[in-house]
Amino acid sequence: MKLSDDVYLFLKWVCLLAVPAVTFITSVSDALNFPYGSQVAAVVSALGVFAGAVIKISSDNYYKQNNDGSSIDNML
C-alpha cells in the first residue's frame, strides 16, 4: 500500500496534531466530570495508533519502491 502525498500529509497531521489535541481535551473533560471523556479519549487514541501504523506501512513501501530500500529503521 502506497498512499498519495495528500493522504499521507493528512494522516500525518492527524497523528501529530489532531489526536494529541483531542486526547488532551477529553482528558481535561474527564477530570471535570463531563460525560464520556474517557471513552472518547480511548477511541481517539486507538484511531491515532491505527493511523500511525498505516503511515509506517506506506512510508516503508515508498522507500522500497523509490529509493535504495533504506528507511529510517535501517539507519538506526
pLDDT tens sequence across 20-74: 888 788 878 878 888 887 788 788 888 888 988 888 888 888 878 776 655 555 5
Provide the 8-state DSSP code for 2: -
74 lies in some domain: no
Q: Please give the model's pTM, rounded to 2 decimal places.
A: 0.63
Question: Which position has the higher pLDDT, 29 or 3?
Answer: 29
Q: Is residue 75 part of a domain?
A: no
Residue 68 has a pLDDT of: 60
Domain range for 42 is: 5-67
State the Cα angle at 58 between 52 and 72, rounded to 5°: 80
Cβ atoms 52, 15 nearer than 8 A: yes
Q: What is the pLDDT of residue 64?
A: 81
User: How crowded is residue 40: how many other Cβ atoms within 10 Å of its Cβ?
Assistant: 18
Domain count across the chain? 1
Instruction: Name residue, grid cell 535501517.
Output: 74
Q: Answer whether residue 73 is part of any domain.
A: no
